[in-house]
Each structure stands twice: as structure tokens, then as C-alpha cells.
């Protein structure tokens, strides 16, 4: 594990992390937050540019580092708050820090896909910290993060990913914006059948695998309350494919259905023509995400280097019989063939 997020402004914690980094700074990628300040003995999210600047300088001093890899503009869940970040000079300050090499990349943390999408489409950020898990992915945009946990929002049977979230992930990949995932366990609720909004529990490995399979996701920031929980997440590296496999669990959820929605789980394979169906489908979705006729160069080139392409599909239907989510795969292969030309 070499990437960590430091949103807390607690000076004691920051100083402790700084001590732990001594002699091995180069081994870690640090994502730390602008606008998270310590005020009157407690954490505060600030949009006051003077407080933000003072907070950053204190953070760098306590960490005892010359730079951080990702300067994350902290916790923006409302469109008017994003406007404030621009008008208050906070985004300009982040750009100044980047120009001086004190941060390498500008990021934004958010739980709201509308806000996150606006930031991504502005070409102002390079990294997005976003909450990704199978239950949150069903919820539409809201300025109140508590809506992601609210029981009443899961009271009825839910079907398929919220379209704004899907558009956000695909836009990030098209734009080259990396997503660092928070809340992949939903604060631990998804690991407990009694607390899970889905009505059933997932495992640590399944939650991490799900997040990593979403477009644009670069890494999962697995929260932990104990060393044992941290070790359980780290053991994902040694987990078998069957232990990581989230598809059967998602397909059996009593309160949620992803019918007809490709989850990139690869249960459709093996294909007799050796087509990587999940990748073809992902590139198809990415190509269509922008709503324009021109295929992004990165998507086109990634599709090109696949060993086998949608045009080789023989319509045998074996893939559709294996798909846990009832995806019309043969129709997707036709769409990809027509779109990419082969």
C-alpha cells in the first residue's frame, strides 16, 4: 500500500504521519486536502482563502514534506459551493501551488455526481475523490450526503445505476481524470446484512473489486477502524478470483436489480472467438458517453489493441446464458462493430 488520503486537519495526527514518513517519503503517494483546517480546536471545512492558505502551510510543516502528489479541494457537494471555490480564489490558489511544484495534481472530493461532473468538464481537476459502491451507485445526485445512507431511499426495489453516476465515471475516463474511491464499504454498512441497504452483505474483497472495475477508478482508499480491518483490505492483493467475484452477490440482492446493465464482471466469458466482452462493452459505453459522433482517440486506440473485436462475434449466445444480469450482449457487439467499424 503506497497511496493514502489525509483529509483530517488534526495537527497531532498530521505530525504523527510526518514522523512516520521520515526516511521513506519517496515510497508514498500523498493525497491531502486543501480547505480542511483546524479552528478553535476542531476540524472545519473552510472557503476563506486566508484560512485555506494558512491551513496548507501548517499541513506541509507538520508533514515535513516539500510537496504532495494530490492537493484535494475538500468536500464539495453543492453547485454553488463549486462556484464559491472558483470565485473565492481557492482554485487559483491550487493552480499556483501546482505551478510551484508544491502539489503535483489538483483534485476535488465530492459525493454529488452533478458537482463532480461540472468540475471534471471544466478541465480544472485531474483527480476526483468520489464515493463508489453498489448501493450508492443507485442514488441520484443530492447536496446532502446523508441521503446516501437514508433508509427511506432504499425502501423500494431499486433497479440499475443512476445515469448521472454512470456518466460521471465514463466522462472521467474519457477526460483522463483518475478517481480515488472513498466509502467503498458504505461506512461498513455493506459488510453487514442487517445494515446493508441491499438487504444482504458483501465481503471486503467484493466491495474493493466492484470499485476497481468502474471506469476511471485508479485506487480504492479503504477506510479502517483497526489494524485488523486494514490488513483485511490489504489481503485483497492475495484474494482469488472467486473471492473477488461480486456478480453472484449483486445478482441475488433482494432489494436491488441491475437487470440489463453490464457490470464488467466477465461472467459472460469465455467467448469461443476469444472476445474480451467486458472490455468491448466498456469501450462501447465510453465511446457513447459524450453524446457526440466522434470517438475519443484514447477510447478508439484502446479498442484497437484488443486481440479480438466485436465484429468477430458469431452470435452463438453462449455469453448471454452466463450473464447474471441479463445483458443483451449480442446487440452490444453489433453496436460496437457499427461504431468502431470492426
pLDDT band for position 266 (50/70/90)? very high
Question: Residue 252 domain-assigned?
Answer: no
Question: Nine-digit cell at 237?
Answer: 492483493
pLDDT score at 156: 79
- Based on the fold, state whether residues 240 and 281 are members of the same structural domain: no
pLDDT band for position 296 (50/70/90)? confident
Question: Residue 162 domain-assigned?
Answer: yes
pLDDT band for position 22 (50/70/90)? very high
Question: Residue 316 domain-assigned?
Answer: yes
Question: Residue 261 domain-assigned?
Answer: no
Q: What's the mean pLDDT when you consider all of the chain?
A: 94
Q: What is the phi-psi region of residue 264: left when phi exceeds 0, alpha when psi lies from -120 to 50, beta otherwise? A: left
pLDDT score at 153: 87
pLDDT score at 158: 81
- Based on the fold, state whether residues 117 and 218 are members of the same structural domain: yes
- Based on the fold, state whether residues 163 and 281 are members of the same structural domain: no
Strands (E), 144-184: 158-159, 178-182
277: pLDDT strictly greater than 90: yes
- Based on the fold, state whether residues 58 and 9 are members of the same structural domain: yes
pLDDT digits (tens, 9 = 90+) for 253-262: 888 888 898 9
- Based on the fold, state whether residues 215 and 290 are members of the same structural domain: no
Distance in angstroms (rounded) separating the CA atoms of residues 264 and 8: 34
Distance in angstroms (rounded) separating the CA atoms of residues 100 and 93: 11
pLDDT score at 259: 87
Question: Residue 270 domain-assigned?
Answer: no
Which domain CATH number covers 98?
Answer: 3.20.20.100
- Based on the fold, state whether residues 132 and 231 are members of the same structural domain: yes
Question: Nine-digit cell at 8?
Answer: 483530517
Helix axes 49-63, 11-21, angle to 10 degrees: 40
More confident residue, 198 or 97: 97
Question: Do residues 264 and 148 make contact, with C-beta atoms less than 8 angstroms apart?
Answer: no
Q: How far is CA 193 from CA 134, 203, 231, 339, in A?
A: 14, 10, 22, 42
Distance in angstroms (rounded) separating the CA atoms of residues 202 and 200: 7
Where in the sequence is the domain holding 295, given as residue range(s)? 277-340
Q: What is the pTM of this model?
A: 0.91
pLDDT digits (tens, 9 = 90+) for 222-237: 999 999 999 999 999 9
Can you tell me the mean pLDDT for 287-307? 86
- Based on the fold, state whether residues 58 and 126 are members of the same structural domain: yes
- Based on the fold, state whether residues 241 and 283 are members of the same structural domain: no
Last residue of a domain, one of 223, 245, 267: 245
pLDDT digits (tens, 9 = 90+) for 167-220: 999 999 999 999 999 999 999 999 999 999 888 999 999 999 999 999 999 999
pLDDT score at 257: 84
Count: domains in the chain? 2
pLDDT score at 292: 65
- Based on the fold, state whether residues 287 and 181 are members of the same structural domain: no
- Based on the fold, state whether residues 239 and 286 are members of the same structural domain: no
Question: Residue 267 domain-assigned?
Answer: no
- Based on the fold, state whether residues 223 and 128 are members of the same structural domain: yes
pLDDT digits (tens, 9 = 90+) for 49-91: 999 999 999 999 999 999 999 999 999 999 999 999 999 999 9
Question: Residue 250 domain-assigned?
Answer: no
291: pLDDT strictly greater than 80: no
Question: Residue 256 domain-assigned?
Answer: no
pLDDT digits (tens, 9 = 90+) for 112-143: 999 999 999 999 999 999 999 999 998 989 99
pLDDT score at 159: 82
Can you tell me the mean pLDDT for 227-254? 95
- Based on the fold, state whether residues 197 and 284 are members of the same structural domain: no
Amino acid at each position: 500500500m503506497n497511496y493514502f488520503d489525509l483529509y483530517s486537519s488534526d495537527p497531532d495526527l498530521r505530525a504523527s504521519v510526518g514522523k512516520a514518513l521520515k526516511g521513506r517519503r519517496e515510497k508514498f503517494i500523498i493525497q491531502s486536502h486543501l480547505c480542511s483546517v483546524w479552528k478553535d480546536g476542531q476540524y472545519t471545512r473552510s472557503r476563506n482563502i486566508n484560512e485555506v492558505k494558512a491551513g496548507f502551510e501548517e499541513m506541509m510543516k507538520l508533514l515535513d514534506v516539500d510537496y504532495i502528489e494530490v492537493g484535494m479541494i475538500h468536500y464539495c457537494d453543492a453547485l454553488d459551493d463549486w462556484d464559491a471555490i472558483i470565485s473565492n480564489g481557492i482554485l487559483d490558489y491550487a493552480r499556483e501551488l501546482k505551478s510551484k511544484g508544491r502539489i503535483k495534481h489538483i483534485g476535488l472530493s465530492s459525493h454529488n455526481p452533478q458537482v463532480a461532473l461540472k468540475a471534471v468538464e471544466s478541465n480544472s481537476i485531474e483527480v476526483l475523490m468520489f464515493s463508489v459502491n453498489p448501493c450508492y451507485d443507485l442514488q441520484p445526485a443530492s447536496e446532502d450526503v446523508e441521503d446516501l445512507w437514508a433508509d427511506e431511499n432504499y425502501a423500494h426495489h431499486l433497479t440499475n445505476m443512476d445515469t448521472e453516476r454512470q456518466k460521471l465515471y465514463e466522462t472521467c475516463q474519457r477526460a483522463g481524470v483518475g478517481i480515488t474511491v472513498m466509502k467503498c464499504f458504505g461506512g461498513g454498512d455493506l459488510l453487514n446484512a442487517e445494515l446493508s441497504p441491499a438487504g444482504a452483505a458483501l465481503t471486503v474483497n467484493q466491495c474493493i473489486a466492484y470499485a476497481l472495475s468502474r471506469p476511471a477508478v485508479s485506487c480504492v482508499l479503504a477506510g479502517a477502524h483497526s489494524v485488523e480491518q486494514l490488513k483485511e483490505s490489504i489481503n485483497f492483493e492475495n484474494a482469488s478470483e472467486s473471492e473477488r467475484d461480486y456478480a453472484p452477490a449483486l445478482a441475488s440482492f433482494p432489494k436491488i436489480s441491475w437487470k440489463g446493465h453490464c457490470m464488467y464482471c466477465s461472467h459472460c466469458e469465455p467467448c469461443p472467438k476469444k472476445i474480451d466482452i467486458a472490455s468491448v462493452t466498456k469501450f462501447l459505453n465510453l465511446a457513447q458517453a459524450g453524446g457526440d459522433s466522434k470517438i475519443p482517440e484514447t477510447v478508439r486506440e484502446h479498442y484497437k489493441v484488443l486481440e479480438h473485436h466485436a465484429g468477430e462475434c458469431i452470435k452463438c449466445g453462449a455469453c448471454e446464458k452466463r450473464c447474471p444480469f441479463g445483458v443483451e450482449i449480442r446487440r452490444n457487439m453489433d453496436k460496437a462493430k457499427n461504431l468502431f467499424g470492426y
